[in-house]
Structure 1
Amino acid sequence: MRTLLRFSYLLFIFFTSCGNTATKKADAGEKEEKAIENKVETKSESKVILFFGNSLTAGMGLDPNEAFPALIQEKVDSLQLPYKVVNAGLSGETTASGKNRLGWVLNADIEVFVLELGANDGLRGISLEETRGNLQEIIDVVQEKNPNTTIILAGMQIPPNMGQDYTSEFKDIFPDLATKNNVGLIPFLLEDVAGNPELNQPDGIHPTAEGQKIIANNIWPIIAEIINE
């Protein structure tokens, strides 16, 4: 019970803080968006694995090389596979804002699209129908842009601040959409990391470099199965 409460508290602060950062630092966000756009364009001639998410994906508080997308790149390179990983994480991202910036991210020919959004919606109490609808629209746009792109949906969980029904239904959004759209699923991105002070930075919010390694290990089997086909 103590671990669950600690996880709930940390996760609540984490996503609330992400939202506040995005609101207060709009100029920084625009620069971050531009940097992501440049990375997508630079890698457009290679097979691209694109991680589209919030500050978990961005690796807030760490060197970019310590964030899990960079760790996935290391695994890819060690196997000498012809893929380039793009970190398209943006701090404070919601499903609505992600949907709005999706167009220019898809300028590259993306082989694998990892969708890691939704938790900020849950912690803000955004309607489950809106969150589900936005995620579905993102999936639809990616599939329309390139029907050959493989989509992986990263599952997330939230503490029961909004009530047990909301929390349970929020958790179900991700496996439901994965099944409906026949896309891949990471059951819980923060498995074995959330709520563990040894795997989070001093603020108790963002994963450490070691925590990011665990996240990468949570993701890698799903990525590996796809790119090894």
Structure 2
Amino acid sequence: MNPSQTPTGSVSDKTRQRILQAAGKIFAQGGYRAMTLREVTKEAGVNLASVNYHFGSKSNLMRELIHERFEPINQQRLKGLDQLVQKHAPAAVPLEAIFDALFRPLFAGIGANSVSDTTLVQIIGRMLTEPADFMIHLHKEFFAELSKRFMGEIQRTCPELSQEQIQFRFFLSISTMIGTIAGEVRLEIISGSQLNSAILDRILEELTNYVVAGFQQK
């Protein structure tokens, strides 16, 4: 069923959200194999017919989970980049601003409700290590065009770099971002203070500075 056809706030919509939340929790904890429909229905407190009605299959459920969690973030990223291009036109966008547009929406998503809610962080980690073949297709569906768009702007900003260099450095930049997100609890231990929005802002600032410095190395 198309999510846009489900009335917001209706019983059906609430059931759909419970299923997605349950799937996200199970996937985050144990990966795709552990996310059986039986476990999802148990966690959500619904029957199998409800899952089939809303999603049709386990793979569709997984796709909708990733769509719900990451599509809003990706749209914010693209919107931010478009605004930067318009602001700086006809000049190229500064590298710091490009990476801020790429990183900031994800950090905002993590800290939107509570920095102690680690489900999104765990889902990111699971997505990267999940061996299921179809996850590769999900990566392409949700992140390939986004990456292409950002690398295109980076190429305008760093014309001295080859396409291959940009691809490698972009990959390393994304890996650094993900590692930072996944390791934020370690920072809490190192710093001796609880994570909050101010600390997340500081992490974002330092991450951006670090990545930009590495990206510009000859």
**Same fold per superposition (TM over 0.5):** no
Give the structure with the higher percent helix. Answer: 2
TM-score of the superposition, structure 1-length normalised? 0.34
TM-score of the superposition, structure 2-length normalised? 0.36
Give the structure with the higher percent strand. Answer: 1
